């Protein structure tokens, strides 16, 4: 309806198409990871749309990174809880030295 600039979902498709050869030469199990990465980029389409970056791949990478950051945060939290509960029972020593890099929050 009077829209000229491609919808972001189409831009995403075109970007993914460009990585077809890269994907082909990956092992199958790695291909699955790559596919999931691209799916992650979809979760923040609205930000890509709003930013209107002339190089949309950058917005897609940022979205993937964002999801990774969220996953890392979650895992760090879980690990801390698990290690914390173990520490209370076992050694009595904190394992602070071995903690994963902590994010700001």
Partner 1 sequence: MTRKVQPGKLWAKEPGVVTPALPSTLTAFVSLKPGRAALLWGESIRSLGALACAWAAARGTRVLTVDAANVFDPYRLVREARRLGVSPREALARVQVARTFTCHQLVRLMQEMPGKLRPGSLVLVLGPVSPFYDEQVPLAERRRLFKELTATLEALKMTNPLLLLQPRLPPEAPNRGFGRLLRPIADVFGSCRELASGP
Partner 2 sequence: METTGWLFDLYPLGNRMVLWFITPKGERLRVEDDFSYCLYLSGPWPQLTRLARAFQQRGWIRRAYPAYGRDLGSGAEIEVIALELEAYSLLPPLQAWLGKLREEPACYNCDLETSAYYLYCRRLWPCAWYDLKIEEGRLAAATLREEPFAPDLTLPPLSILHLGLTRNPLVPLGAGNSLFLSWEGRTLELEASHRAGLVAELSSLLRRLDPDLVVSDWGDEAIVPQLWRWSREYRVPLALDRETARLPRRFSGGRSYFSYGRVVYQGPSAPFFGRWHVDRRNSFFWREAGLAGLIQISRLGQMPLQQAARASPGTLITSMQLARAVADGFLIPWRKGEPERFKSAEELLTIDKGGLVFLPPVGLHFNVAELDFASMYPTIMVVHNISPETVNCGCCVEEGAGEHSPRLPSSLPQGGWGKGPEIVNPGVPPSRVPEAGYHLCRRREGLVPRTLKPILNLREQLKARAKERPPELAASYQERQNALKWMLVTCFGYLGYKNARFGRIEAHEAVTAYGRDKLLTAKELCEAAGFTVLHALTDCLWIKKDGMTAAELESLSQNISRATGVRLSLEGCYRWIVFLPSRQNPERPVATRYFGVFEDGRLKVRGLLCRRRDTPPLVRRAQEALLARLADVATRQELTARRPELEELAEGFRQRLREGGIAPGELMITRVLSKPVEDYKVDTPTALAARQLARAGIKLVPGEKVRFVHRKKRGPKELQVVTAPFLDDLETYDTGVYLELLNRALDEVLTGVFGDADLLRPKGSK
The stretch among 6-14, 62-70, 73-81, 96-104 that binds partner 1 (CB under 8 A) is 6-14
Query: Smallest gap, in angstroms, from Cβ of residue 96 to partner 1?
Result: 45
Which position among 13, 18, 74, 84 is part of the footprint of partner 1 (CB under 8 A)?
18
55 binds, among partner 2, partner 1, none (CB under 5 to 8 A by kind): partner 1
CA angle 87, 99, 89 (to 5 degrees): 5
**Burial of residue 55 (number of CB atoms within 10 Å: 0-12, 13-18, 19+):** exposed
Note whether 3 binds partner 2 by CB under 8 A: yes
Tell which one of 13, 32, 33, 43 touches partner 2 (CB under 8 A). Answer: 43
Rounded distance, CA 101 to CA 85, Å? 19
């Amino acid at each position: 309806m009077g829209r000229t600039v491609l919808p972001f979902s189409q831009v995403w498709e075109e970007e993914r198409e460009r990585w077809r050869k890269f994907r082909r030469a990956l092992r199958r199990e790695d291909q699955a990871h790559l596919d999931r990465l691209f799916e992650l980029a979809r979760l923040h389409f609205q930000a890509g749309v709003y930013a209107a970056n002339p190089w949309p791949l950058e917005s897609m990478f940022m979205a993937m990174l964002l999801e990774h950051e969220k996953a890392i945060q979650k895992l760090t939290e879980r690990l801390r809880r698990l290690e914390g509960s173990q520490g209370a029972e076992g050694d009595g020593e904190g394992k602070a030295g071995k903690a994963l890099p902590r994010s700001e929050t």
